[in-house]
């Protein structure tokens, strides 16, 4: 089957066809193997990719800029706070300016694609970042790529799976442990949700472990359960920090905030999470896995989410996954912006 994604928005992998996911991964592997090859280095010749950053970044900005450059194009960095865009707070306009509709229609004439990064600290309520990304996508013909929103992170999810494939082959039938870790960063759900959704789409068992009171959004977990059921795989939940490690193939230890985060605030969330020190990925627990590999989207909160022994040890593939962001993003841009077609 020849997969054509030209002009398609990439906001969540759950919304992509399974063959589209497979095509993106196939192309990403080929691009990594032939990083500077002539087959790819002019795909975005003379094309501009606009990057809206509502939140700061290390990996996202550099990887997208490098991706555009290696495809022969140009990535332009923009911070909405420096532009004359209409801004509201609590439903009240606090800065006059252009609506998203007007801005999107103009940007659509300038660029061949746009990415938006808007995390939990840039919005007042969960889901507002995702809504903003979709509003831009509504008014633009050029593809809009979610570079990390408050709900989803498709580029990270694809990069996680690419790392799994590199080290353990086809992930189908293997088991992922997604476990909460204590920490001082009060992190959002986007990478966690994205990983479980794409892993379950590709036929993996999913085991979720977190303390009571740290439930993830139930509508998103329902999608994970449905994916597992469709593939004849298992979804398991535990509130015990030890229980989940038995015979798993991949361990993803990540802090995330509780459902009441927007009511209690960041400081209260950090104080609460920092007390649950037993929730950490360590070597003793990793020994109970099926030669399990440690994965993480980075930045990693060492000594809290995971020990240095594991994070810097031979079973950690988190740096490989960070590198994969470059290659999966190149594949997304090539297929959606340049119209590269892939046979799967």
pLDDT at 90 over 90: no
pLDDT digits (tens, 9 = 90+) for 273-324: 999 999 999 999 999 999 999 999 999 999 999 999 999 999 999 999 999 9
pLDDT digits (tens, 9 = 90+) for 229-269: 999 999 999 999 999 999 999 999 999 999 999 999 999 99
What is the number of alpha carbons within 13 Å of residue 337 lying toward its C-beta? 31
Alpha-carbon torsion 308, 311, 312, 314, what sign? positive
pLDDT at 92 over 50: no
- Find all residues with CB under 8 Å of 30, minimum gap 6, and list them: none
pLDDT digits (tens, 9 = 90+) for 106-132: 999 999 999 999 999 899 999 999 999
Nearest CA-CA partner of 130 in 154, 107, 146, 114? 146
pLDDT digits (tens, 9 = 90+) for 284-297: 999 999 999 999 99
Cα separation, 191 vs 254, in Å, equals 9
Report the SS3 class of residue 252. strand
Q: Residue 171 is inside which H or E element, if any?
A: none
Ordered by start, the domain boundaries in the chain are 2-153+325-343, 156-321
CATH of region 156-321: 3.40.50.1370
Mean pLDDT, the chain, rounded, equals 95
CATH of region 2-153+325-343: 3.40.50.1370
Q: Please tell me the pTM assigned to this model.
A: 0.95
Hey, do 2-153+325-343 and 156-321 end up sharing a CATH topology, with the first three levels equal?
yes
The band of 7, judged by pLDDT with boundaries at 50, 70 and 90, is very high
pLDDT at 94: 41
pLDDT at 93 over 60: no
Q: Outline where 98-217 has alpha helix (H).
A: 100-110, 128-139, 154-168, 190-201
Alpha-carbon torsion 273, 279, 283, 286, what sign? negative
Q: What is the mean pLDDT of residues 122-147?
A: 96
């Amino acid at each position: 089957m020849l997969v054509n994604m030209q002009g398609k928005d990439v906001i969540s992998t759950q919304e992509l066809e399974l063959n589209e996911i497979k095509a993106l991964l196939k192309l990403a592997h080929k691009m990594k193997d032939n990083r500077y090859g002539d087959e790819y280095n002019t795909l975005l010749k003379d094309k501009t990719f606009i990057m809206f950053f509502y939140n700061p970044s290390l990996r996202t900005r550099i990887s997208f800029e490098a991706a555009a450059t290696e495809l022969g194009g140009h990535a332009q960095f923009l911070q909405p706070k420096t532009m004359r865009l209409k801004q509201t707070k609590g439903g009240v306009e606090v800065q006059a300016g252009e609506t998203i509709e007007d801005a999107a229609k103009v940007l659509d004439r300038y660029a061949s694609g746009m990415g938006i990064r808007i995390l939990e600290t840039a919005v007042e309520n969960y889901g507002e970042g995702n809504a903003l990304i979709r509003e831009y996508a509504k008014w633009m013909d050029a593809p809009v790529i979610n570079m990390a929103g408050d709900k989803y992170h498709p580029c990270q999810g694809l990069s996680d799976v690419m790392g799994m494939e590199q080290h353990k082959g086809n992930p189908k039938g293997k088991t992922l442990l997604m476990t909460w870790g204590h920490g001082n960063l009060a992190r959002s759900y986007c990478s966690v949700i994205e990983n479980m959704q794409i892993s379950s789409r590709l036929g993996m068992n999913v085991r979720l472990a977190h303390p009571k009171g740290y439930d993830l959004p139930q509508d998103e977990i329902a999608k994970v359960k449905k994916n597992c059921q469709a593939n004849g795989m298992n979804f398991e939940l535990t509130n015990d920090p030890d229980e989940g490690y038995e015979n798993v193939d991949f361990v993803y230890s990540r802090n995330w905030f509780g459902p009441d985060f927007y009511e209690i605030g960041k400081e209260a969330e950090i104080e609460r999470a920092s007390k649950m020190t037993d929730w950490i990925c360590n070597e003793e627990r990793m020994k109970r896995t099926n030669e399990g590999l440690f994965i993480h989207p980075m930045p990693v909160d060492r000594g809290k989410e995971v020990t240095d022994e594991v994070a810097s040890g031979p079973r950690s593939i988190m740096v490989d996954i960070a590198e994969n962001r470059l290659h999966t993003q190149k594949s997304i841009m090539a297929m959606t912006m340049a119209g590269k077609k892939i046979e799967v």
